[in-house]
Structure 1
Amino acid sequence: MNIKIIIQAAFIFLFLLAGMSCEKKGNNYSGNEQRSFCYWNTSYVSDSALWNKLEANHLYVRYFDVDWDDLSGEPKPIASIWSNDSLPFNFTPSVFLTNKVFEKSSEQVLDSLSAKIKRRIDDITTSFGASAFYGREYQDRHLNQDSLRNIVIGEYKNRYKDILIDCDWTAGTKDKFFYFLNRIKKDCSSKNITVTLRLWQYKQTKTAGVPPVDRCLLMCYNMQTANNFNVKNSIASLDELKKYISGDKYPLILDVALPIFSWAVLFRNEQFVGLIGNATDKDYKDNFIEYESLENGRYRSLTDKVIGNYFMRKGDIIRVESISKKELNDMAQYIKKEIPMDKYSRITFFSWNKSYIENYGTEEIKEIYSLFGK
């Protein structure tokens, strides 16, 4: 038999086998994708060394956002991800939709939007699949490159099992949002549709309703309003978590997202100015020339300066927010005790960022995975 045919047949067999091994089983994930992260930037760069060090095996990837466009009078995608790198083997495309989409859209518009979202997810996944193909050593003169490229892309599309829909729906938008979920479940019938769940939606099921899906990703962060000057830490705390997670259990199976990110909240005359991403105490506490250290992670600017996207004036206050290792471990312990999860439930960290991970510690992150038996 021609060597070209033998090699190509073997290659096709291996990819078909890989695709079969990751087919969804009912409404469950597979048993090897529970150590998860969220990736929420517009450009993706892989870091296989850090990924392997963490022994992570799943990644939620924000593909794009959808917002209402007043000019065209319809919802439109924005901030799509781009990359020349390939994704980890287990990944979940994620799409964020603003509440305005559901405030403004008719059911007919939502039907069309669902189909457009499916096509855009397919297009972005195709792009990632092409990156995976060109990033590997398939360039062999014996093989038909176009055929192999199509096989790799097809395997990429079959690889993921679920799509995460992210929306902070309200009592006023829940009916249209739930309608949209039922529609996209039909349009993406080969995938499980999962939904992000804010803590208030977890607690107030009568107001928020329960989405028509099999499982949700509970977001255990952003527990208070960042623009409130009197808040100590808007990201998370065990005391705030306990206010939400108590009493009746949620009627759906849950995955859990925990915070390892940090930021600084900028205030002027006690009025909110903005958020400065990836900020830590060490950025300010030893800079005695530019900042005066106050209590509770707050600093007063001693000079005018540009920081991030903001012009900071003398006298402005910065509140640095992060989660200590002890606080996060205490939260994890409490969640494990209070929230029923199945063996497929993912523990995911927000977000995949090398500086966040190194600030918190790879071993500490692995310990929390282990705490949940992952």
Structure 2
Amino acid sequence: MLHKIRLVSLLWIVSIALALPSCQGQVIKDAGPAFYYWKTTLQFDTADAGLADQMRSQHFYLRYFDVDWSAGYASAVPTGVLEIRSTRGWDKKTVTPTVYITNRTFTQIKDKDILVLASKVARKIVQINEELESSIFNYSFYDRFPERLTWEERSDIVDSLKRDWSKKIVEIQIDCDWTLSTRDKYFNFLTALQGKAPDFAITSTLRLHQYRDRKTMGIPPVKKVMLMCYNTGDPKKMGESNAILDANVVKQYLKGKKYPLEMEVALPQFNWGAWYRAGVFQGLLRDLSPSTPGMETYLHNEQDNQYRVAKDTVLRQDYLREGDVIRMDGSTPEQMQETLKLLQVQLRRRISRVAFFDWEYKKIKENQAALSAYFEALKKN
């Protein structure tokens, strides 16, 4: 009897500790910004958990896997499935499983196979949900409850923790840059997935051109979309001013009537160097920015975000030649402020969540104050 009383008391304490406010409606209710976690390995350690707590960040869009078309199998297959290693502090978070599906998947797939794809995606998500729950609660159990418990008490508490935490996974987000030719197949997939995963709300990402061209691109059959306010230009074009975020381009896309669905907004927190030789695009130099240590030894700033290679240099595995041009693309404070103003005017009272792409501890730490300020600015819209 004493064991049962003790177990009931522990379960009651756990249920209180796990209670978190829900985020519904059109007004931002999150205490802090949400983030995308877009890696193939979930490695969230003590430093990550501490920074997330400092920013009052409670929600993550966690990339579970991608779906691409396999010519060999003549079928859609999962790729880059998430490997779960460390989930420090995730028992206090809410999560949206996110799946990226390539547009060519819907180009190749037959209509009759869409329901099968929806079933496979739903099953895979449930499987990873279970793996995530086990990682969060089984491996960190004794950190939270160091006192000695019987196997039965431990098992019951872990099961209760899993059940309570799983209730926080209320949606599945599908990310796809669908086109006019794949629109119907993609929309049919979203409807089919909702039928296969009735306990979740199916949501979709929305590119800026899909927002603007809604008459031809259609409105996805979901209740909520995530407007991705980045990748505003083609990095292959040397004439772009900033291929990641250009407020003038965003302004062109946001003209017109308000979108008829509840909307969340994703803003960029990444950068790259667009690399050209004799005007020909060579590739993207990931995570290169004006603040990169040592770049002043081989790059000379010519104007704005344009740099010229001053001497032959090996950067990671890329060989930069003297005279090459690097354009530094990214979410500069100036571009972000202009974009925030546009969002406040055009999407006023329609934004239900603000998320940043994506979680990288070093970058988030360096820009912590700015990110919090951006979030607060939109929260007050």
TM-score (norm: length of structure 1): 0.90
Query: Any gaps of 5 or more consecutive residues in structure 2?
Result: none
1:330 lines up with 2:338 in the alignment: yes
Q: What letter is aligned with 1:279? A: L
Q: 2:283 aligns with which of 267, 274, 281?
A: 274
Q: What letter is aligned with 1:369? A: F
Query: What displacement does 1:95 show?
Result: 0.4
CA contact (8 A) 2:26 2:262 kept: no
Q: What letter is aligned with 1:114? A: A
Partner of 2:8: 9
CA-to-partner distance for each residue in 1:297-326, whole Å, 9 max, x for gaps?
233334444424433334332211122223
Q: Secondary structure at the match of 2:127?
A: helix
Q: Secondary structure at the match of 1:212?
A: coil
Q: 1:125 aligns with which of 123, 129, 152?
A: 129
Query: What displacement does 1:151 show?
Result: 3.4
Partner of 1:65: 66
In structure 2, distance between residues paired with 1:315 and 1:220: 32
Task: Compare 193-202 and 248-257 and name the one that shifted more.
Answer: 248-257
Partner of 2:368: 362
Partner of 1:175: 184
In structure 2, distance between residues paired with 1:30 and 1:327: 22
Partner of 1:371: 377
Q: What letter is aligned with 1:6? A: I
In structure 1, distance between residues paired with 2:133 and 2:308: 48
CA-to-partner distance for each residue in 1:240-280, whole Å, 9 max, x for gaps?
11110112211111111111211111222322222222211
CA contact (8 A) 1:232 1:296 kept: no
Partner of 2:93: 89
In structure 2, distance between residues paired with 1:13 and 1:117: 35
Note closer, same or farther for the CA distance 1:183–1:322 as it changes in structure 2 (3 Å cut).
same
Q: How do 1:295-334 and structure 2 match up within 5 A?
A: 295-334=303-342
Task: Compare 69-78 and 139-148 and name the one that shifted more.
Answer: 139-148
In structure 2, distance between residues paired with 1:11 and 1:321: 51
CA-to-partner distance for each residue in 1:2-59, whole Å, 9 max, x for gaps?
32x233333444556678867897x889944773111111122321211111122211
Partner of 2:359: 352
Q: What letter is aligned with 1:239? A: N
Task: Compare 76-85 and 153-162 and name the one that shifted more.
Answer: 153-162
CA-to-partner distance for each residue in 1:118-152, whole Å, 9 max, x for gaps?
12111212122112111132463324244444333
Percent identity of the aligned residues?
27
Partner of 1:207: 216
In structure 2, distance between residues paired with 1:285 and 1:249: 45
Partner of 1:156: 165
CA-to-partner distance for each residue in 1:55-83, whole Å, 9 max, x for gaps?
22211111111000111011111112222
Q: 1:37 aligns with which of 35, 38, 54?
A: 35
CA contact (8 A) 1:125 1:156 kept: no
Q: Secondary structure at the match of 1:282?
A: coil
Task: Compare 312-321 and 30-39 and name the one that shifted more.
Answer: 30-39
Q: What letter is aligned with 1:347? A: V
CA contact (8 A) 1:274 1:310 kept: no
CA contact (8 A) 2:312 2:320 kept: yes
Q: 1:108 aligns with which of 105, 112, 122?
A: 112
Q: How do 1:75-86 and structure 2 match up within 5 A?
A: 75-86=76-87
Q: Secondary structure at the match of 2:340?
A: helix
Partner of 2:347: 339
Task: Compare 125-134 and 303-312 and name the one that shifted more.
Answer: 303-312
Count residues with an aligned counterpart. 369
Partner of 1:136: 141
Q: Secondary structure at the match of 1:250?
A: coil
- Cα RMSD (Å) of the superposition? 2.6
Partner of 1:48: 49
Query: What displacement does 1:234 show?
Result: 0.3
